[in-house]
Amino acid sequence: MDRRDFSRMALAGAAASALPVPAAGKPLEPLAPGIKISLQIPTDAPDEYLTLAKQIGVEYVNIPTGGDKSTLENFIHLRKKVEAAGLKVWNIGNSNVHNMPEVTLNLPGRDKKIEEYKQYLRNLAAAGVHYTTYAHMGNGIWSSERESTRGGAPARAFNQKTAKGFWAGKVFDGPLTHGRKFTKEELWENYTYFIRQVVPVAEQAGIRIGIHPDDPPVPELGGVPRHIFGTFDGYIKALEIANSPNIGVCLCCGTWMEGGKHTGKDVFGAIKEFSKLGKLWKIHFRNVTAPIPYFVETFVDNGYTDMLKVMRTLVENDFRGNLIADHVPEMVGHRMVGWAYSIGYIRALYRAVSVELKKA
């Protein structure tokens, strides 16, 4: 039995008794062949952003929301606006139910946040959107002061000696961000409690949930272990516990590169293994200067990883999901200049690899 067969059997059988039997859900729509390159646009983006998306050659957009913008009415409005411009919505995010310390760390308000997340899934489905990215960090995304990358472009940086956690207006600082150290066992219990309740709703709604890696995947930050979505083995166990066709992976390449040896597999190996499982649904296509303990997010063509090889690995493994540029350094001029540059570079890589493999 090879690893592929073993992994499939593990996902199908492991932890089956840990989950309630959900009511029959909607079968997942199969993903059409080809990579769906997409542009991220702001929640209240003016029409020129949609025009730009068409001009740079993408067919899809991803839209973040939060606060009072995360309503069914707004989701329907956004979808209609995008489709009127001749584009499609791949995902509408909701920062209110993304990186929830209450859920990850079992803090007061946990059940309320889980119910909010479940309603978010129902709202997405009602608006005709059937994918979402979820992140399970207990004390935010950690960063240091911004630094400069090529040409002086400001960009996010991480120095483990000075970094703090940030998310949705909250700052997580100090050696213990929540007053004590949490154990790995606690975090597994908390994830299991959450995913048991989410799976039946996702299956009923017909929504794929791609889980984002911890950013950065340092083994522990502020007393909180990052062993579940900071390592390849953690992901495999988490997928086993979920035991659902609707739970998969949003692989942020940059985050995976940040982790280096701590992830257990490099980005190429992760793409191959998650693809074999049929669980790879979204890619954040970005680059960094080095692995932890110190890195700067740089231009897609300027980091330590060969992004042509990343694209080739995706195409060779028949990736059919959504791919976005992410965390793009700021370029002079309009705020979307850097995004247009990144998308152009990504589309060129995709074209080059597609032609190369077709000729092979």
Look at domain 32-359 and name its CATH class: alpha beta
- The residue-averaged pLDDT of 303-310 equals 98
Give the count of beta carbons closer than 10 Å to the beta carbon of residue 219. Answer: 13
Q: pTM, whole model, 2 decimals?
A: 0.92
Count of CB atoms situated within 10 Å of the CB of 289: 19
pLDDT, tens only, 200-219: 999 999 999 999 999 999 99
What's the confidence (pLDDT) of residue 180?
Answer: 97
Given this model, what pLDDT does residue 9 score? 39
Burial of residue 262 (CB within 10 Å: 0-12, 13-18, 19+) is: middle
10 Å CB burial of residue 159 (0-12, 13-18, 19+) is middle
Q: Given this model, what pLDDT does residue 343 score? A: 98
Write out the DSSP string of 75-135: HHHHHHHHHHTT-EEEEE--GGGSS-HHHHTT-TTHHHHHHHHHHHHHHHHHTT--EEEE-
pLDDT in tens, 346-358: 999 999 999 999 9
Instruction: List strand residue ranges (DSSP E) for 177-255, in order.
Output: 208-211, 220-221, 224-225, 247-252
pLDDT digits (tens, 9 = 90+) for 172-188: 998 999 999 999 999 99
> What is the rounded average pLDDT for all residues in the chain?
93
Mean pLDDT of 290-316: 98
Q: Report the pLDDT value the prediction gives residue 7, as an integer from 0 to 100.
A: 45
Structure confidence at residue 26 as a pLDDT band (50, 70, 90): confident
Q: Residue 13: what pLDDT?
A: 38
